[in-house]
Amino acid sequence: MAPRWPVLTLLTPLVAAVLSVPTASADDVVAAAVTEHQAESATISGGLVESNHAGYTGGGFVNYDNASGAYVEFTVTAATAGPATLSFRYANGTTTSRPVSVTVNGSAGVSVAFPGTGAWSTWGTGSATASLAAGANRVRVTATTANGGPNLDRLTVDTGTTSAGRPADVNGQLRVCGVKLCNQYGKPIQLRGMSTHGIQWYSQCVKTASLDALATDWGADVLRISMYVQEDGYETNPRKFTDLVHGYIEEATRRGMYALVDWHQLDPGDPNANISLARTFFTEVAQRHRDKTNIIYDIANEPNNVSWAGIKSYAEQMIPVIRAQDPDGVVFVGTHGWGSLGISDGRSEQDIVNNPVNATNFMYTFHFYAASHQDEYFAALQRAASRLPIFVTEFGTQTYTGDGANDFAYSQKYLDFLAANKIGWTNWNFSDDFRSGAVFKEGTCAGSTFAGTGVLKPAGVWIRDRMRTPDNFPTS
């Protein structure tokens, strides 16, 4: 493979799109089963409404008194009795967790840790599940230590699909078993979803309406968050891009999808060149989201012009960085030759088989573009699939430039093999870029309609159709 996007550095007008955490607006349709409740409008005992730290929503946030027993109590109305996910947006500028007990109508409390977020102006999410009664419910959030609770911004209640069909709800914490990706029941599964384009260019395509369509109309299991390191990406403003990723993780979580965090290094191709930046980024992301069960970490997108030994060394330095914060998270790393198992470098998967990464709960990634990467690449994937745990984090139905005519026949050959072997995939890409590999027609992302086929290019119609028949996620 070769670098695919050199001309994108010319697309500077696209950067005018606001790079911010996606939030609902009046033009966006949010599922009726999701409701939001501002903390400043709740009943407060032992705390004050303040607005002296940036980033809150609504009219302010609640600053708990430094006392055990201080609480914020929300009134939540449910149409019917049943389970709900309670998500609390909070900030904790200390390095010590500020645990609370969450009760519903005086029930036994559920503990939520609320670990440090790094600053009082940096907001995270803590979640709990609970059973709501039909009608009004009292959801009380009570500090359990002398430090009091965190700064509490709002409560989001999701009563829509918390139990049955959502991929991350059914499968829970993933783990690698043998050469397969397995769910919380130890059963091999196949995840299928979409990759964003570079969020420095196409953040306008990743918003409430488009993500709702991806989760419900398309039936995606996973959102790959493509954060370039160079090319106007992370290195230009680490804080801004880290916060974007935090926001997209929360949006995927809210919709029951897995969030695949993609450290999209491409040029330089040696991931060791960015290892200091990678340590900083993944430490924060893993620390912030370690209590979630839907996070996957991809620590190097497409290593190129670097030996497999160099990639292995990088992976064995980075995996402990993530494990120190999130011991259970699955970690991916790209293979040499732009994710080709070495084929584009004149090598093969045997480099990896002979010298595997010394880690567990770990997978290798493979990329293909069906109009360019045919028999030799397909054969390497076939050979590797029985020896190595593999996830296809990027593929297209076009050439390796992400453009040109679609080869749906060879694409189907790949997808049939991936389905038969329970190998997950994310397609490139969820944007309205002019290239044929972008699923939306140009100009779509300026609007609010993303469901159906009318807004899709041929590749989008084809990919959506193949995503709408879900994998049978086994639970026993």
- What type of residue is 12? T
Smallest CA-to-CA distance from 176 within 161, 189, 193 is with 189
Which helix (H) or strand (E) covers residue 211, if one does? Answer: helix 208-212
Smallest CA-to-CA distance from 435 within 396, 397, 404, 393 is with 404
Smallest CA-to-CA distance from 158 within 72, 253, 223, 244 is with 253
Q: How far apart are CA 131 and CA 139, in angstroms?
A: 11
Let me know how long the chain is. 476
302 carries an active-site annotation:
yes
Judge contact between 90 and 150, C-beta under 8 A.
yes
Q: How far apart are CA 218 and CA 456, in angstroms?
A: 12
- What type of residue is 82? G
Rg (CA), the chain: 22
Residues with Cβ within 8 Å of 361's Cβ and at least 6 positions away in sequence, in order, are 175, 176, 328, 329, 330, 331
Which of 73, 302, 316, 442 is labelled catalytic?
302
Do β-strands 425-428 and 390-396 pair in parallel, antiparallel, or remain unpaired?
parallel
Tokens representing 434 are 């002019």
- Cis bond before residue 429 (omega within 30° of 0): yes
380: left (phi over 0), alpha (psi -120 to 50) or beta: alpha
Q: How far apart are CA 275 and CA 435, in angstroms?
A: 31
- The phi and psi torsions of 103 (rounded to 5 degrees) equal -120, 150
Q: How far apart are CA 245 and CA 5, in angstroms?
A: 21
Q: Where would I find the H helices in 238-299?
A: 238-254, 275-289
251 carries an active-site annotation:
no
Q: How far apart are CA 282 and CA 445, in angstroms?
A: 29
What residues are labeled active site?
A: 302, 394
